[in-house]
Structure 1
Amino acid sequence: MEKKKVLNEGIWMLALFVVLLLVAIYVPGVSVLSSLFLVLPFLVFSAKYSLKSSVMFGLISLLVASVAGGLGAVPLAFVFCSTGIVMGSMVYKKLDKLSIFIAGSLTFLLNIVLLYVSTILLTGVNVATEMNEAFKRSFQESMDLMEELGQPLPEEAVKQFQEGFSFFYALTPSLFVLFALTAVFLFMLVNFPILKKLKINVPHFQPFRMWRMPKSILWYYLILLLLSFVAIPEVGSSWYSTYVNLMFMLQFCLIIQGLSFFYFFADIKKWPKIVPIILTVLSIVFLPLLYLVRLLGIIDLGFDLRQRLQQKP
């Protein structure tokens, strides 16, 4: 009876996966939305059954994906299949939501890095390099046009644009990490409520106001900042790429700390919930405000503002 139940549910989840995969591949208008649910069949199945059954289900899904969407659909299917199985298996083991998020993000990140490297090896095309060169060519054409119109850009502005291109190109590894974190967060946001509807026990995150980064983040940030004065990161060097990526991720952690503190402060003051949400949106839209949020995160980590506020009568 148990095997029949597993088989029946596997067939239904397989059918759902094929429909979602075909929509993601062949219907451009809703492909992104469909992609958010591609992990759902694997989440549901692996949250209810053993890892052995889940892996078998995943292998069959890849085989069906190759038939339904061609060989080109297999890498896409594998990304969502493996991520969903890892996350669902952790739900099956009743692990906490943060562990599921981290494991899912690492799995998704590994997959997109493998896809990126495989694309370079098979086609000889580095997407990041090609995009960087395309932006540079477009910028150069715009400069040439402005010179023809008698309104050339100042040399300082040209230099800043060129440094910006180099910065974003060097930032490629961190952008991969950020993309993986965002993708898995969205997977959990849209799919976990469905798991609850299906009577699957899903763990909860701590409220955002309770999130706290390790204090070591602040020390890493300060050490890296001091190192940048001792050994100045020169554009194009390995140290520059390392510095840019480490600093970006550390600053991202400090921004999360700053926003979390603001939600904590708003909760203590009994402000309407919309107030910290508006600040979060404004911080993303207006970069100078984001710097202030990062500074708030540094102060909170360094001086433990939350504990001080809680100790006040």
Structure 2
Amino acid sequence: MKLRWTTAVWSVIYLLLLLSLLTPFSIVTAFLLVLPVAILFTALNTKSFFMHVVPVWLIALLIDPIYLLFAIYFAVPGIIMGYLYRKRKSAMQVLKYGMAVMLVEMLLLLMISTAFFQLNLSDYVDEIVKMTTAPLSEMGVEGGIGGQFLGTELDTQLIKDQTMRLVPFAMIISSFLMTVVTHALARPTLHSMGLSVPRLKPAREWMLPRSLIWYYLLIFFINIATIDSDNTFMKMIVANATPLLQICFMIQALGFFYYLAHERKWHPIVPLLTAIPIVLFPPAMIIGILDLAFPLRQAFSKNKR
């Protein structure tokens, strides 16, 4: 009985999240829309799952057909993640598949919008950049501090070009964040419903592939080789791969501090606080690079002995 009421509540939450997509709250709720589907698909059998979500889809369709499209779009990764939860796959596998499905959906959506609805991504980005920079111009900051960053049309064009280059990065990060948020909230929720879901390894055990260092070096040399080049494709690869690899090294650095805190018996808040300088001071990622390149953890273990 408790499970029945809980799943009914999640159906209502699912509907409310869908209806929020055309409101200013969508910037937050969009990251939560996969969650109800993943929970319902994990907690219910397939027939019961559709008995819960189909009424939500029908209500959404009656209000506005666009809501049904949103529902289907976010339901696919939710079903995939829920299916993997059912099969008790590892948390990392759930994250990988969930992120991959979301990324594929974004690419398909972009392709369909471009092919059938004449979406021009360049024009769309141009409008966003103009909307973002217009307030500065209206405030008359062209000759002041703001003008140093946004003084000419050339500066605006550079911002637009850089934004266009970073579209793949934005898609990957969005997919990653949606998947992580879904898993972070789904696991304790399902646990409270009496369902066991595998958890991620402790942060102190995080070890990314050492090959990331070679990828970073490759991107570094490609960047040097294409500084004066007109090869926009290679520049786009560099622009997207560099921040992605840097984020990986930041995650590795955070894992190292969690390992160090565990070995030294520090308070759990200490490694969490290190995330602040790691994020705010990007060169701190060098710790993650060193942790991958050299046996730092073994060295600290030996020193402890």
The alpha-carbon distance between structure 1 residues 29 and 46, as it changes in their structure 2 partners (threshold 3 A), is: same
Contact 2:125 2:163 in 1 (8 A): no
The alpha-carbon distance between structure 1 residues 143 and 34, as it changes in their structure 2 partners (threshold 3 A), is: closer
Structure-2 separation of matches of 1:33 and 1:146: 31
- Residue 45 of structure 1 aligns with which residue? 40
Give the deviation of 1:85 after TM superposition: 0.7
Contact 2:40 2:49 in 1 (8 A): no
| Post-superposition CA distance 1:14-38 (Å, at most 9, x none) | 8436633454246x36555654553
1:138-153 pair list within 5 angstroms? 139=133, 142=137, 145=140
| Post-superposition CA distance 1:37-71 (Å, at most 9, x none) | 53344323322456x64885698468525534322
Matched, 1:175 2:170: yes
The alpha-carbon distance between structure 1 residues 209 and 164, as it changes in their structure 2 partners (threshold 3 A), is: farther
Q: Which of 100, 105, 111 is residue 117 of structure 1 equivalent to?
A: 111
SS at match of 1:72: helix
Give the deviation of 1:78 after TM superposition: 1.3
Matched, 1:291 2:283: yes
Q: Which of 297, 302, 305 is residue 293 of structure 2 equivalent to?
A: 302
Structure-1 separation of matches of 2:141 and 2:50: 60
Deviates more, 1:29-38 or 1:117-126: 29-38
Contact 1:20 1:35 in 2 (8 A): no
Matched, 1:93 2:87: yes
Structure 2 unaligned spans of 5+: none
Contact 1:174 1:245 in 2 (8 A): yes
What percent identity do the matched residue pairs reach? 22
The alpha-carbon distance between structure 1 residues 180 and 198, as it changes in their structure 2 partners (threshold 3 A), is: same
| Post-superposition CA distance 1:112-161 (Å, at most 9, x none) | 332333333344333564234542586588399556x6999569986777
- Residue 228 of structure 1 aligns with which residue? 223
Deviates more, 1:56-65 or 1:40-49: 56-65
- Residue 250 of structure 1 aligns with which residue? 245
Deviates more, 1:209-218 or 1:132-141: 132-141
The alpha-carbon distance between structure 1 residues 129 and 59, as it changes in their structure 2 partners (threshold 3 A), is: same
Structure-2 separation of matches of 1:245 and 1:72: 31
Structure-2 separation of matches of 1:134 and 1:278: 35
Structure 1 residue identity aligned to 2:242: M
State the TM-score, normalized to the length of structure 1.
Answer: 0.79
Give the deviation of 1:297 after TM superposition: 1.0
1:117-136 pair list within 5 angstroms? 117-127=111-121, 129-135=123-129
Contact 1:62 1:78 in 2 (8 A): no
SS at match of 2:65: coil
Deviates more, 1:256-265 or 1:149-158: 149-158
Deviates more, 1:65-74 or 1:134-143: 134-143
Give the deviation of 1:180 after TM superposition: 0.9
CA RMSD of superposed structures (Å): 3.7
1:150-165 pair list within 5 angstroms? 163-165=158-160
Structure-1 separation of matches of 2:114 and 2:215: 33
Structure-2 separation of matches of 1:248 and 1:152: 25
